Amino acid sequence: MPKFYLSTPIYYVNAAPHIGHAYTTIAADTIKRVRRMLGDDAYLTTGSDEHGQKVERSARAAGLEPKQFTDRISAAFREEWDELGLEYDFFRRTSDPRHALAVRKIFERCLANGAIYKDSYTGKYHLGDEAFVTEDEARRADPELITTVTEENYFFRLSDYQQRLIELYESQPDFVQPEARRNEVLAFARAGLKDLSISRSSLRWGIPLPNDPDHVFYVWFDALTTYMSSIGYGEEDAKQTDYERLWPIDVHLVGKEIVRFHAVYWPAFLMAAGLPLPKQVWAHGWLIFQGGKMSKTKGNIVRALPIKEVVGTDGLRYYLLREIVFGQDGNFSHEALAVRYNADLANGIGNLASRTTSMLSRYCDGRIPSQGSGQSGGLPELAAKCIPEAIQHYEKFAFSRALEAAWTLLARTDKYIVEHRPWVLAKSGEPGARAQLESTLYNSAEALRIACVLLAPVIPDGAQKVWQLLGQEGKVAAQRLDSLRWGGLGANTVVGKQAAVYPRLDVGKAVERMEALEAEALAQQARLLGKEPSREPLEVDTPEIEIGDFAKVDIRVGLVLSAERVENSKKLVQLQVDLGEHKPRSILAGIAESYRPEDLLGRRVAVVANLKPRKMMGRVSQGMIVAASLEGGDPHLAGFPDGTPIGARLG
The residues of the shown chain that bind ligand ME8, judged by CB under 6 A, are: 9-12, 20-21, 23-24, 49, 223-224, 226, 254-255, 257-258, 286-287, 293-294
What span, in angstroms and rounded, lies between the C-alpha atoms of 342 and 346? 5
Return the number of the residue (156 or 595) whose C-beta is nearest ligand ME8. Answer: 156
Decide whether 9 or 327 has the Cβ nearer to ligand ME8. 9
* Nearer residue to ligand ME8 within complex by CB, 51 or 603: 51
In angstroms, what is the minimal distance from the CB of 21 to ligand ME8? 5
- The smaller minimum CB distance to ligand ME8, of residues 226 and 356, is found at 226
At its nearest, how many Å lie between ligand ME8 and the CB of residue 220?
7
Please list, in sequence order, all residues whose beta carbon lies within 8 angstroms of the beta carbon of residue 536, skipping any fewer than 6 positions away. none
User: What minimum distance in Å lies between the beta carbon of 287 and ligand ME8?
Assistant: 4
Cβ-based nearer residue to ligand ME8, 50 or 151: 50
Q: Nearer to ligand ME8 by C-beta: 50 or 314?
A: 50
Q: Which is nearer to ligand ME8, 273 or 557 (CB)?
A: 273
Our CA dihedral for 70, 72, 73, 76, rounded to 10 degrees, sits at: 150
Rounded Cα gap, residues 467 and 477, in angstroms: 10
Shortest gap between Cβ of 294 and ligand ME8 (angstroms)?
4
- CB nearer to ligand ME8: give 107 or 502: 107
Distances (CA, A) of 209 to 118, 163, 197, 269, 411: 12, 28, 13, 16, 60
For 545, counting Cβ atoms within 10 Å of its Cβ (0-12 exposed, 13-18 middle, 19+ buried), the class is exposed
Distance (Å) of CA 14 to CA 48, 60, 362: 10, 11, 57
Between residues 297 and 347, which has the closer beta carbon with respect to ligand ME8? Answer: 297
Given the complex with ligand ME8, which of 165 and 466 has the nearer CB atom? 165
Of residues 175 and 286, the one with the C-beta less far from ligand ME8: 286
- Residue 197's SS3 state is strand
Residue (of 605, 533, 610, 552) closest to 576 by Cα position: 605
Identity of the amino acid at 261: F
The CA distances from residue 501 to 149, 400, 493, 496, in Å, are 57, 21, 20, 12
CA dist 420 and 368 (Å) reads 17
Least distance in Å: CB of 195 to ligand ME8? Answer: 20
Identity of the residue, 259 or 606, whose beta carbon is nearer to ligand ME8 in the bound complex = 259
Length of the chain: 651
In the complex, least distance from residue 47 CB atom to ligand ME8, rounded to whole angstroms: 8
Give the DSSP letter of residue 335.
H
**What own/partner pairs with CB < 8 Å and gap ≥ 24 does 336-344 have?**
337/307, 337/311, 337/514, 338/310, 338/311, 338/505, 338/507, 338/510, 338/511, 338/514, 339/507, 341/311, 341/315, 341/502, 341/505, 341/510, 342/504, 342/505, 342/507, 344/318, 344/407
Q: Please report how close the Cβ of residue 125 comes to ligand ME8 at its closest, in angstroms.
A: 16
CA distance 245 to 41: 10
Q: How far apart are CA 446 and CA 444, in angstroms?
A: 5
- Long-range CB contacts (< 8 A, 24+ apart) of 214-220? 215/152, 215/153, 215/154, 216/51, 217/51, 217/103, 217/107, 218/130, 218/153, 219/49, 219/51, 219/52, 219/130, 220/130, 220/131, 220/261, 220/265
Q: What are phi and psi of 132, to 5 degrees?
A: -70, 145
**Pick 45 or 621: Cβ nearer ligand ME8:** 45
The least distance separating ligand ME8 from the CB of residue 376, rounded to whole angstroms, comes to 43
Q: How far is the CB of 126 from ligand ME8 (least distance, A)?
A: 12
First to last CA, the chain: 84
Question: How far apart are alpha carbons 221 and 153 in whole angstroms?
Answer: 13
Distance separating alpha carbons of residues 239 and 232, to the nearest angstrom? 5
Q: Cα(154)–Cα(137) distance, rounded to whole angstroms?
A: 23
